[in-house]
Amino acid sequence: MRIWMKRLLVLFLLIGTGLFCAAYLAASDPEDLDNGRAKLLSYIVRQQLTNNHYQPRELDQQFAADIFALYLEQLDPQKRFLLKDDVTRLEQFTATLNRDFKKGRLQLPEEGRRLLHLRIRQVQPLVLDLLAAPFSFDQEEFFETDPEKLAFCSNSAELRERWRKALKSQTLARYIDKLEELEQDGETPTPERRKELEGEAREKVSKTVTGFFERLLEDSDKDHYNEFLATFSRTFDPHTNYLPPRQKEDFDIHMRGSLEGIGATLREEDGYIKVVSIIPGGAASRQGELAAEDLILEVAQDDEEPVDITNMRLREAVGLIRGPKGSTVRLSVRKPDGRRVLISIVRDVVQIEETFVKGTLLEPESSEKRYGYIKIPTFYRDFSKYGEGRNSTDDMREELERLSAEAPLDGLILDLRNNGGGALTDAVSIAGLFISKGPIVQVRNGDGTIKTLSDTDNDIAYDGPMVVLVNRFSASASEILAGALQDYRRALIIGSDHTHGKGTVQAIVDLDRHLPFRNMQKYLPLGALMVTIQKFYRVSGDSTQYRGVVPDIILPDRQQHLETGERYLDHSLPWDTVRKTNYTPWRNALPDFAHLQELSTQRQQQSELFTEIRAQAELLEQRSKQTRIPLELTAALAEREKIDSLRETSIHGTMNVDDGEEEQDLTTQLKDDAIFLEGRALLDDIIRLNGQGGVARTPRSANGY
């Protein structure tokens, strides 16, 4: 999630027009307009990224090779169309890529689209021929689902065999679905009925694949060119991107918060639509099954036939997933461990109340201490009221006051798990609720200048022991808060082996405002660029980028097998350091970490919950490596049973809290949350070893930055 600085939702970066010859941009018909627009875009995008990116790259041969690798993944991600000779031919255009950008004509995407459409038309009759005859599910064979483990086919015979296995796999999956439907109805299919079911399954696959081909061939020169510019942009870093006019419009709508849908952030990745994050308070959050890192394979409206969305443009896929409030969308999803599950979600608008800070007073267990628990789903601030609207800082302060109304809190657990970020000003001001005045985060521009954002008063809302819960989906602003509390030794950070590692700031550049000459308005709209312009650093000088925040106490996690986080993204900016700021650690030092770790390890070894988490993590990791799926019926049925047995396993390894429940229900659900329970036990350890309690003080007014 982006971090918005102050009240700036959109930042326009001004540059000089430079020298640009517009003579070749004259246009007299629609085709000339498209060609002229493409030339203009290639110039402006290149100039904007070179001038404004935090860490611009030279258009040398290494950069060209990186562009080609990303483009090839986008062009034929499953390696089912292009042949090795095609790849070799396309690679030749990388040698002239820098010159092509300067000339305004990019040969690589032009030839790439031509070759892809040629191969699609050649594959179409091959696929129809394969689907004309029944498949036999009696012989032992396997289909490799991970394209990274496959090479491009050398000839049409290899390509036919790859498609045969892919189609057989899809048919077998639908065939098993039909068998399970009959089993639920108490019917045992006869051999003849089984033949009919296989035919019905093949027919469904045929319709799906036919629609898939038609969609690929509808890809226009303009669409393909836009995708290439997006690929070019992402070679600078994964958060820099070109947004075509339609996508920019969708982005603007998203920022206004007026979309109705499932409440998930999505992105294109290697031909798939991938879930980046689940929006707190959204339909998917309340349903509970869809999770970050899931791949959405098919989308169905209510009881209609599903649509295969592999290789689909993001905006088209989002168009299928969105819909009116109250309608149902069915998503066929592949989990990171290989499971394929069907998830039904009733579309709804985001329930704003469910995104707000919420807390509860914890009932005494092993001790009589009064502990508070507060969860921050996201860092929110209503910018429409000049920054004075509802915000997470004021809500946090009020929650602390409410929990300590009857008596001071002895300890506090702050939950930042799955918090993807939000308003930077609130990450800074919430940190200020727990420390005396001092620096919170450093922000570095591309030119090396550094600005330090600080808490500027001595007031403290709570001064007692604290434990902060994080996981790999704690990102951006939540990493700033956790990192500051860790550097000040103000709180003990516990959770996954690292947080997400999103330590950069992006700005939106409206390309329509950067025409070299006025007579080029006929090419509008051009869209926008999302450009990385700044980097965050902790008060210790360490960047939060790439590595994230490493907890003081690392706990077992079901999601440890997931390759999620900045370190797993192509071309992510590296971790580095700047000079530390002048700050004073918290006066009440935490106990020795090694001793706390020893106590925690002893509890984990005796905990049934952690024993279960470790076993499930190991099983899920093993499954994530098993990318070859059986094409024989008995083996496939056995595999389906294993998948069903894993479905109840939460991918996040934490409580599945319905944010709309009352406080007592939140408390009840926390009782089965192993990470929370260990956080509570560590609070006991800290208080026992330090002999300290806390005081909740009169809340102070918010400071803005």
Copy the structure tokens of residue 549: 């925040």
- Which of 295, 329, 346 terminates a domain? The answer is 346
pTM of the complete model: 0.86
**Do 158 and 303 lie in a common domain?**
no
The answer as to whether 679 is a domain residue is: yes
The answer as to whether 208 is a domain residue is: yes
Chain segment 414-442, per-residue pLDDT in tens: 999 999 999 999 999 999 999 999 999 99
**Do 369 and 445 lie in a common domain?**
yes
Contact 17, 516 (CB under 8 A): yes
337 catalytic per annotation:
no
**Do 149 and 168 lie in a common domain?**
yes
Q: Is 400 left (phi over 0), alpha (psi -120 to 50) or beta?
A: alpha
What helix, strand, coil percent values describe the chain, rounded to 5? 45, 15, 40
The answer as to whether 22 is a domain residue is: no
Copy the structure tokens of residue 188: 């045992």
Q: How confident is the model at residue 257 (pLDDT cuts 50, 70, 90)?
A: very low
For residue 172, give the amino acid letter. Answer: L
**Do 594 and 579 lie in a common domain?**
yes
Look at 22-36, 93-107, 342-356 and tell me which has the smallest mean pLDDT.
22-36
Is the pLDDT at 19 greater than 60? The verdict is no
The answer as to whether 565 is a domain residue is: yes
- Mean pLDDT of the region 359-364: 85
Q: State the CATH number of the domain containing residue 270.
A: 2.30.42.10
**Do 452 and 489 lie in a common domain?**
yes
Chain segment 377-392, per-residue pLDDT in tens: 999 887 665 656 789 9
208-243 in b/e burial notation, b at 16+ Cβ within 10 A?
bbeebeebeeebeeebbbbbbbbbbbbbbbbbbbbb
Catalytic residue among 248, 369, 502, 535: 502
**Do 336 and 371 lie in a common domain?**
no
The answer as to whether 24 is a domain residue is: no
Is the pLDDT at 506 greater than 90? The verdict is yes
339-374 in b/e burial notation, b at 16+ Cβ within 10 A?
bbbebebebbebbeebbbbbbbbbeeeeeebbbbbb
d(CA 297, CA 331) in angstroms, rounded, equals 7
| Dihedral of alpha carbons 13, 14, 17, 23, sign | positive
DSSP annotation of 290: -
Q: Which of 410, 327, 427 is nearest to 376 (CA)?
A: 427
pLDDT number for residue 30: 56
- Mean pLDDT of the region 547-553: 98
**Do 446 and 488 lie in a common domain?**
yes
**Do 603 and 503 lie in a common domain?**
yes
The answer as to whether 132 is a domain residue is: yes
d(CA 310, CA 307) in angstroms, rounded, equals 9
The average confidence (pLDDT) of the chain is 87
Distances (CA, A) of 481 to 88, 423, 572, 582, 672: 48, 12, 22, 18, 26
Peptide bond into 525 cis (omega under 30): yes
d(CA 657, CA 667) in angstroms, rounded, equals 10
**Do 126 and 105 lie in a common domain?**
yes
- Which of 346, 374, 394 terminates a domain? The answer is 346
Burial of 184 (0-12, 13-18, 19+ CB in 10 A): exposed
Catalytic residue among 237, 250, 463, 487: 487
Domain that holds residue 117: 57-233
Contact 414, 557 (CB under 8 A): no
For residue 452, give the amino acid letter. Answer: T
d(CA 612, CA 502) in angstroms, rounded, equals 30
**Do 618 and 511 lie in a common domain?**
yes
455 catalytic per annotation:
no
Is the pLDDT at 250 greater than 70? The verdict is no
Q: Residue 144: in which H helix or E strand, if any? A: strand 142-144
Catalytic residue among 206, 392, 404, 476: 476
**Do 87 and 115 lie in a common domain?**
yes
Question: How many other C-beta atoms are found inside a 10 Å radius of the C-beta of residue 5?
Answer: 18
Chain segment 663-689, per-residue pLDDT in tens: 556 777 788 899 999 999 999 999 999
476 catalytic per annotation:
yes
Is the pLDDT at 205 greater than 90? The verdict is yes
Q: How confident is the model at residue 249 (pLDDT cuts 50, 70, 90)?
A: low
pLDDT number for residue 669: 74
- The domain total for the chain is 3
The answer as to whether 141 is a domain residue is: yes
d(CA 647, CA 517) in angstroms, rounded, equals 58
- Which of 176, 198, 233 terminates a domain? The answer is 233
pLDDT number for residue 9: 33
Burial of 154 (0-12, 13-18, 19+ CB in 10 A): exposed
Is the pLDDT at 18 greater than 80? The verdict is no
Is the pLDDT at 323 greater than 90? The verdict is no
Calculate what percentage of the chain has a pLDDT beyond 90: 63
pLDDT number for residue 386: 60
**Do 221 and 307 lie in a common domain?**
no
Strand pairing of 241-243 and 528-537? antiparallel
The answer as to whether 251 is a domain residue is: no
Q: How confident is the model at residue 341 (pLDDT cuts 50, 70, 90)?
A: confident
Chain segment 145-181, per-residue pLDDT in tens: 999 999 999 999 999 999 999 999 999 999 999 999 8
Is the pLDDT at 581 greater than 90? The verdict is yes
d(CA 621, CA 616) in angstroms, rounded, equals 8
Q: How confident is the model at residue 255 (pLDDT cuts 50, 70, 90)?
A: very low
- Mean pLDDT of the region 138-145: 96
